[in-house]
Amino acid sequence: MENTELHTINKDESVISITGLYKSFDDVQVLDGIDFTLLKGENFAILGKSGSGKSVLIKIIVGLLKPDKGEVIVLGQQVDKLNRKELDALRIRVGFSFQSSALYDSMNVYQNLAFPLTMNYRDLSKKEVGNAVEEVLESVGLKEKLYQMPSDLSGGQRKRVGIARMLILKPEIMLFDEPTAGLDPITSNEIIELINEVKKQNNASSLIITHDLTCAKNTGDRIAMLFEGKFLKAGTFKDVFAMDNEHIKGFYNYNFIQ
């Protein structure tokens, strides 16, 4: 799986560009000078321990949190300068898959998937919505679960529906927050394959934030390790883990005791 897609990446075109990003809460400096570029067509994985600031970074990218300092440009727009309407428009183009999958428990799978579509495109016919839901559900391998309730699904299936709900708006950038958290190794591998598959199918760019070494290794064309608010290094998995750095080496142990 290693970097076979790298040749399809457009090195001239960045879809996310972050420079000198700082964010603290009270006296805790969570992000302490982050520079980062997501190139069009690449999968970039950010690896970091629990509490290292991964979710904060994603929330800043989608404008849910404001940076203290630094520039965050997503699809050519400076996120913290956007008004409500511009932000809503941007969020259609930038899909966000939550750690918890965040499905509506009182809605079946069909309704969960139709919801973002009908909210954003009010003039779609029932048939158009139905077709889109079926197509996206098929692409995550859950065609037969259309009328199930989330509570009837396994953890892996809920993740798939969460990913389908992101895909239905055909995002140009996909953000995955801990896509494999809480899953057994076999289900994790299925989700990893799905992340790689949907990126190809949708010709999108993905940012995957994870504490799971296997997930970072097998999804990331490039990875970066987030440690004490900074990226220790960005590069291929091989490059990063070839570094003689105690924190990077320590990550192996961290994963084995998870």
Ligand X SMILES: Nc1ncnc2c1ncn2[C@@H]1O[C@H](COP(=O)(O)OP(=O)(O)O)[C@@H](O)[C@H]1O
Residues that bind ligand X (CB under 6 A): 25, 28, 30, 48, 50-56
- Structural contact between residues 112 and 165, judged by C-beta atoms closer than 8 angstroms: yes
Q: Tell me the C-alpha to C-alpha distance, in Å, between residue 153 and each of 97, 108, 140, 157, 161.
A: 17, 10, 14, 6, 9
Write down the least CB distance from residue 59 to ligand X, Å. 8
Q: In the window 48-67, what residues touch Mg ion (CB under 5 A)? A: 54-55
| Binding segment (CB under 5 A) for Mg ion, from list 1-9, 46-54, 60-68, 149-157 | 46-54
> Is the Cβ of residue 54 or residue 160 nearer to Mg ion in the bound state?
54
Write down the least CB distance from residue 251 to ligand X, Å. 13
Please choose which of ligand X, Mg ion, none residue 50 contacts, taking the beta carbon within 5 to 8 angstroms, the exact cut-off set by kind.
Answer: ligand X
Write down the least CB distance from residue 215 to ligand X, Å. 14
Write down the least CB distance from residue 37 to ligand X, Å. 20
Write down the least CB distance from residue 25 to Mg ion, Å. 14
> Is the Cβ of residue 145 or residue 211 nearer to ligand X in the bound state?
211
- Number of other residues whose CB lies within 10 A of the CB of residue 98: 18
Residue in 101, 134, 133 with CA at minimum distance from that of residue 117: 133
The one-character DSSP state at 134 is H
> Is the Cβ of residue 60 or residue 129 nearer to ligand X in the bound state?
60
Write down the least CB distance from residue 51 to Mg ion, Å. 8
Residue of minimal Cβ distance to Mg ion: 55
> Is the Cβ of residue 55 or residue 205 nearer to ligand X in the bound state?
55
Residues sharing a CB contact under 8 Å with residue 179, sequence separation 6 or more, in sequence order: 97, 159, 163, 191, 192, 195, 208, 210, 215
> Is the Cβ of residue 150 or residue 229 nearer to ligand X in the bound state?
229
> Is the Cβ of residue 57 or residue 114 nearer to ligand X in the bound state?
57
Residues sharing a CB contact under 8 Å with residue 34, sequence separation 6 or more, in sequence order: 18, 20, 21, 22, 57, 70, 226, 229, 230, 231
| Secondary element (H or E) of residue 76 | none
User: Would you state the structure tokens that stand for residue 258, as one six-digit string?
Assistant: 């998870």
The residues that touch Mg ion, with contacts defined as CB under 5 A, are 54-55
